[in-house]
Structure 1
Amino acid sequence: MSAEPHLRRRAEAAAARLPPLLARAQHLANTVLLGDHGRRRAGMGDDFWQYRPVQPGDSYRMIDWRRSAKSEAQFVRQKEWQIVQSVTLWVDNAASMSYSSTSQVPPKSDRAQVLALAISILLIRAGERVGMAGTNLPPRRGDQQIWRLSEALLAEGDADFGVPEARAMIPHTRALFVSDFLGDFSQTELALAKASDRGVRGVLLQILDPAEQDFPFQGRAIFESMQAKIDHETRKASDLRDRYVARLNERKLALKNLARATGWQYECHLTNAPVQQALLWLYNALERGR
Structure 2
Amino acid sequence: MAETSPASRTVEQAALQAASLVSAMPRLVLEARRIASSVAHGLHGRRRAGTGENFWQYRRFLGGEPAARVDWRRSARDDHLYVREREWEAAHTVWIWPDLSPSMDYATGNRPPKRERALVTAFALADLLVRGGERVGVPGLMRPSADRRIVERMAENIVLAPKLPARLPPPFAPAPTAEVVLLGDFWSPASEVAAQITALASGGAHGHVVQIVDPAEETFPFSGRIAFSDPVGGDRLTVGRAESWCDDYALKLAEHRAVIRASAERHGWSFIIHRTDQPASALLLSLHMRMGAGGAGAAAGGLA
TM-score normalized by the length of structure 2: 0.74
- Equivalent residue number for residue 230 of structure 2: 225
Give how far 1:83 is off.
5.5
Give how far 1:256 is off.
1.5
- Equivalent residue number for residue 241 of structure 2: 236
Deviations 1:29-72 (A, max 9, x none): 01111233205578xx469xxxxxxxxxxxxxxxxxxxxxxxxx
Q: Which amino acid aligns with 1:267?
A: I
What is the SS of the residue equivalent to 1:287? coil
Structure 2 counterparts to residues 168-187 of structure 1, below 5 A? 168-187=173-192
Deviations 1:56-99 (A, max 9, x none): xxxxxxxxxxxxxxxxxxxxxxxxx6555100011111111100
Q: What is the aligned length? A: 249
Q: Does 1:88 align with 2:81?
A: no
User: Are the equivalent residues in 2 in contact too, given 1:91–1:112 (CA < 8 A)?
Assistant: yes
- Equivalent residue number for residue 60 of structure 2: none
Q: Does 1:268 align with 2:287?
A: no
Which residue of 113, 123, 134 maps to 2:119? Answer: 113
Which residue of 125, 129, 152 maps to 2:131? Answer: 125
Q: Which amino acid aligns with 2:45?
A: G
User: Are the equivalent residues in 2 in contact too, given 1:133–1:168 (CA < 8 A)?
Assistant: no
Q: Which amino acid aligns with 1:248?
A: L
Structure 2 counterparts to residues 240-259 of structure 1, below 5 A? 240-259=245-264
- Equivalent residue number for residue 44 of structure 2: 37
What is the SS of the residue equivalent to 1:131? strand
CA distance in 2, matches of 1:280, 1:9: 33
**Bigger Cα Rg:** 2
- Equivalent residue number for residue 288 of structure 2: 283
Q: Which amino acid aligns with 1:141?
A: A
CA distance in 1, matches of 2:104, 2:250: 19
Which residue of 94, 112, 134 maps to 2:140? Answer: 134
What is the SS of the residue equivalent to 2:255? helix
CA distance in 2, matches of 1:19, 1:31: 19
What is the SS of the residue equivalent to 2:222? coil
Q: Which amino acid aligns with 1:173?
A: A
Q: Give the number of the structure whose residues are more often helix, by fraction.
A: 1
CA distance in 2, matches of 1:231, 1:206: 24
CA distance in 1, matches of 2:279, 2:167: 24
CA distance in 1, matches of 2:283, 2:198: 25
CA distance in 2, matches of 1:152, 1:265: 27
CA distance in 2, matches of 1:235, 1:248: 21
Structure 1 pair 26/41, CA: closer, same or farther in 2 (3 Å)? Answer: closer
Q: Does 1:17 align with 2:47?
A: no
Which residue of 123, 148, 172 maps to 2:153? Answer: 148
Structure 1 pair 9/111, CA: closer, same or farther in 2 (3 Å)? Answer: closer
Q: Alignment identity in percent? A: 31
Give how far 1:186 is off.
2.6
User: Are the equivalent residues in 2 in contact too, given 1:132–1:138 (CA < 8 A)?
Assistant: yes
Deviates more, 1:31-40 or 1:233-242: 31-40
Give how far 1:182 is off.
0.6
Q: CA RMSD in A?
A: 2.8
List gaps (5 residues or longer) in structure 2.
1-7, 53-87, 296-304
- Equivalent residue number for residue 56 of structure 1: none
CA distance in 2, matches of 1:243, 1:151: 42
List gaps (5 residues or longer) in structure 1.
48-80
User: Are the equivalent residues in 2 in contact too, given 1:83–1:170 (CA < 8 A)?
Assistant: no
CA distance in 2, matches of 1:260, 1:84: 26
